[in-house]
Amino acid sequence: MIRHPYLLIDVFARSAFHGNPVAVFFPGTDLSEGVMQAIGTELNLSEVAFVMPTGSPARFRARIFTPTRELPFAGHPMIGILAALHTRFDVTGEVTVHVPRGEVRGWVELRDEELWAGFTLPVPRASPVEVPTAEIVAALGAEPVAPIELYDVGARHFVIALDSRDSLRDLRPDHTRLAKFPDVAFNCYTGSGTTWRNRMFSPAYGVVEDAATGSVAGPLLAHAHTYRDAPTGRPCRIEQGVEIGRFSEMHVRLDPGGDGLRSRTWGQCVTVGRGTLEYPEDQ
């Protein structure tokens, strides 16, 4: 039998059974894409991650899979990877993780027995939205209060501002219509100042509604900085998962850089399980 140990981490969670869970595997050898995808489909979490050493105690390789596809990068799995490295190998401080999108610089530490992790990335420039806004509005059943923008961070995200928490809470998207949009997630948010709330839907990525979407934290705050009143240089909070009973709290800060904005995204993690996945050698 082939056996792969894994940790189950609740990411962006103050306590167990909140936040967004991710299974982080340490297979010890490179797995085929087919096997990793099969494991992602089997567990049916929003993402699973596979971590491999590089020979350096502060550098690792990772790949991330949803139930339906591989993602070149995803935010909450990256936070979960960093937390799992601490739990399994007692890694602390700065860590570099290489994913298909490129190198991600992160960190992990204990603060008063609480496990925190984060990463820093440039915020990509918004890309043109190549489908009629009316089609997006019809699929979501809500009117945006600012231009819809598309950000590619490995996963592709529409960022859509709504007028109030009531509008966000009452969203009932048409998932059949959403499924017609390939390779994209829909992020609907509202808020003001340093406090924001998001909901993410993505049939394309095999996720009905995501509990926490770390990869969109920087782009969402950049959108809110452009069209609303989100600040730069100050920590902000993005809540998510409220409507599905998985309260998540993402912390993010935007800072101007020479080539645009950079975002620092971080959050608390809780290790809620560990185990071994096994299957026959000829699988």
Active-site choice (33, 42, 47, 243):
47
Confidence bin at 211 (pLDDT 50/70/90):
very high
Fold of 2-118+268-279: Diaminopimelate Epimerase; Chain A, domain 1 (3.10.310)
pLDDT digits (tens, 9 = 90+) for 220-275: 999 999 999 999 999 999 999 999 999 999 999 999 987 889 999 999 999 999 99
Same CATH fold assignment for domains 2-118+268-279 and 133-266: yes
Query: What pLDDT is attached to residue 132?
Result: 92
pLDDT digits (tens, 9 = 90+) for 159-186: 999 999 999 999 999 999 999 999 999 9
pLDDT digits (tens, 9 = 90+) for 42-58: 999 999 999 999 988 89
Q: What is the pTM of this model?
A: 0.95
Domain definitions of the chain by residue range: 2-118+268-279, 133-266
* pLDDT > 70 fraction of the chain, expressed in percent and rounded: 100
CATH number attached to the domain at 133-266: 3.10.310.10
Is 249 tagged catalytic?
A: no
* HEC string for the chain: CEEEEEEEEEECCCCCCCCEEEEEECCCCCCCHHHHHHHHHHHCCCCEEEEEECCCCCEEEEEEECCCCEECCCHHHHHHHHHHHHHHHCCCEEEEEEECCEEEEEEEEEECCEEEEEEEEECCCCECCCCCHHHHHHHHCCCCCCCCEEEECCCEEEEEECCCHHHHHCCCCCHHHHCCCCCCEEEEEEEECCEEEEEEEEHHHCEEEECCCHHHHHHHHHHHHHHCCCCCCCCEEEEECHHHCCCEEEEEEEEEECCEEEEEEEEEEEEEEEEEEEECCCC
